[in-house]
């Protein structure tokens, strides 16, 4: 197991390097010179632009600049924001917890709903319960999160006045954003869980459990659901990326803090170092979570052995 972990960690290094290279290149692929872009609108003289070029080290070969970029990255230095003139790393550090909280609550809500709906669909297969679970899942896939957000605000904030439409502290303000972000995810999970449960429920050990006289709930929860859970773990890992990029939409709509909303502001105001920083953080999170998922998968399923 230890060797497996080591190999997986080393194996992800090329991908991590590739991600940083791509993010580094953003600033160099944009039409125009980075120094000129930075001084845009400030009536800088060609001399000033030249001075800034030298200061930023833009004269050096690209590879040296990339090495420098990596070196600064290792020191959590992502450069300065064009618009706020503060350190990009600091701003991201301020905004990240809000997004992490949203992602965590979304994940929990979506997993619980997805597992329950999937299990119910499998146990009451081909009844109205199954049909309802299927409609729930199809709608979840077809509803773009921005429309779902607006709809939920319209129903629960504007008409019923149960929940706040805009971000406020505490868990109440998290409910609508988490549901907007999580429905699609729980829909996929519902399908997956239903299929797995149907398969597991047909296994001999379930028949054995029933023959022992165990109650239905006990058979379903203790014997079937636990085995159907394993594939769900993989799915959760894959979805964390979609979740983080979905935060771009949901945070903007609900006026929440977070790196998603930060990304939208940065792109619209052409704050390139900020875009680089946010994109890098999301991609790195995605890779790390996926790696952790793979390892968790190996730990959860005793049949999987890695030499």
Partner 1 sequence: MREGVVVGAHSARVPGPGLGRPAARAVRQFLLNRSAVAGAIALSLVLGVAVLGPMLAPYNPVRVRVSERLRPPGTQHWLGTDQFGRDILSRILVGARPTVAAPMLAIAIGAVIGTALGTAAGYAGGAADAVLMRLTEILQAFPGILLALIVITILGTGLLNVMIAVGISLVPVYARLVRSVMLAVREREYVLAARAIGCSPAGMLARHMLPNVWTQVAVLSTTALGWAIIAGATLNFLGFGIRPPTPEWGADLNVGREYLNAAWWTSTAPGVAIVFVILAIHFVGDGLTEALDPALRGQDAGGSGG
Q: Which residues bind partner 1 (CB under 8 A)?
A: 14-15, 18-19, 22, 26, 29-30, 138-139, 141-147, 150-151, 153-154, 158, 188, 191-192, 194-195, 238, 241-242, 244-246, 248-249, 252-253, 263-264, 267-268, 272, 275, 279, 282-283, 286-287
Min CB(43)–partner 1 separation in Å = 22
Min CB(51)–partner 1 separation in Å = 26
DSSP states along the chain = -HHHHHHHHHHTHHHHHHHHHHHHHHHHHSSS-HHHHHTTTTT--HHHHHHHHHHHTTTS-HHHHHHHHHHHHHTT---B-TTT-SBHHHHHHHHHHHHHHHHHHHHHHHHHHHHHHHHHHHHTTTSHHHHHHHHHHHHHHHS-HHHHHHHHIIIIIIIS--S-SS--SSSHHHHHHHHHHHHHHHHHHHHHHHHHHHHHHTSHHHHHHHHTT--HHHIIIIIIIHHHHHHHHHHHHHHHHHHHHHHHHHHHHHT--SHHHHHHHHHHTT-HHHHHHHHHHHHHHHHHHHHHHHHHHHHH-TT----
Min CB(284)–partner 1 separation in Å = 8
CB count within 10 Å of CB 53 equals 16
In Å, what is the CA distance from 76 to each residue of 24, 54, 71, 119? 14, 23, 9, 44
Min CB(208)–partner 1 separation in Å = 26
Q: Which is nearer to partner 1, 201 or 275 (CB)?
A: 275
Min CB(80)–partner 1 separation in Å = 17
Q: Could you give the CA distance from residue 128 to residue 121 in angstroms, rounded to a whole number? A: 9
Q: Could you give the CA distance from residue 221 to residue 3 in angstroms, rounded to a whole number? A: 34
Q: Which is nearer to partner 1, 139 or 202 (CB)?
A: 139
Min CB(15)–partner 1 separation in Å = 6
Q: Could you give the CA distance from residue 225 to residue 219 in angstroms, rounded to a whole number? A: 9
Q: Which is nearer to partner 1, 225 or 280 (CB)?
A: 280
Min CB(286)–partner 1 separation in Å = 6
Q: Which is nearer to partner 1, 179 or 249 (CB)?
A: 249
Q: Which is nearer to partner 1, 51 or 104 (CB)?
A: 104
Q: Which is nearer to partner 1, 191 or 256 (CB)?
A: 191
Q: Which is nearer to partner 1, 69 or 272 (CB)?
A: 272
Min CB(265)–partner 1 separation in Å = 11
Q: Which residue has the tokens 């997986």?
A: 8
Q: Could you give the CA distance from residue 192 to residue 214 in angstroms, rounded to a whole number? A: 26
Q: Which is nearer to partner 1, 22 or 163 (CB)?
A: 22
Q: Which is nearer to partner 1, 109 or 251 (CB)?
A: 251
Min CB(22)–partner 1 separation in Å = 6
């Amino acid at each position: 197991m230890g060797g497996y972990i080591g190999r997986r960690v080393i194996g992800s290094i090329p991908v991590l390097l590739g991600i940083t290279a791509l993010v580094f290149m953003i600033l160099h692929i944009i039409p125009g010179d980075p120094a000129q872009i930075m001084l845009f609108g400030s009536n800088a003289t060609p001399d000033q632009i030249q001075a800034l070029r030298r200061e930023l080290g833009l004269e050096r070969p690209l590879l040296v600049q990339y090495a420098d970029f990596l070196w600064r990255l290792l020191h959590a230095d992502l450069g300065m924001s064009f618009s706020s003139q503060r350190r990009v790393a600091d701003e991201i550090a301020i905004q990240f917890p809000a997004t992490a909280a949203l992602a965590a609550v979304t994940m929990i809500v979506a997993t619980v709903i997805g597992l329950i709906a999937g299990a119910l669909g499998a146990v009451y297969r081909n009844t109205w319960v199954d049909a309802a679970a299927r409609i729930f899942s199809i709608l979840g896939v077809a509803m773009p999160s921005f429309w779902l957000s607006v709809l939920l605000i319209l129903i629960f904030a504007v008409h019923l006045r149960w929940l706040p439409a805009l971000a406020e502290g505490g868990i109440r303000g998290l409910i609508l954003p988490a549901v907007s972000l999580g429905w699609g995810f729980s829909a996929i999970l519902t399908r997956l869980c239903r299929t797995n449960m149907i398969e597991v429920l047909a296994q001999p050990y379930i028949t054995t459990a029933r023959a022992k006289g165990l109650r239905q709930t006990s058979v379903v929860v203790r014997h079937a659901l636990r085995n159907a859970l394993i594939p769900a773990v993989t799915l959760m890992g894959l979805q964390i990326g979609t979740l983080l990029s979905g935060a771009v939409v949901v945070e903007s709509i609900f006026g929440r803090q977070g790196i998603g909303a930060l990304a939208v502001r940065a792109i619209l105001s052409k704050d390139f170092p900020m875009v680089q920083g946010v994109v890098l953080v999301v991609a790195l999170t995605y890779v790390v979570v996926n790696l952790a998922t793979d390892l968790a998968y190996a730990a959860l399923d005793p049949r999987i052995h890695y030499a």
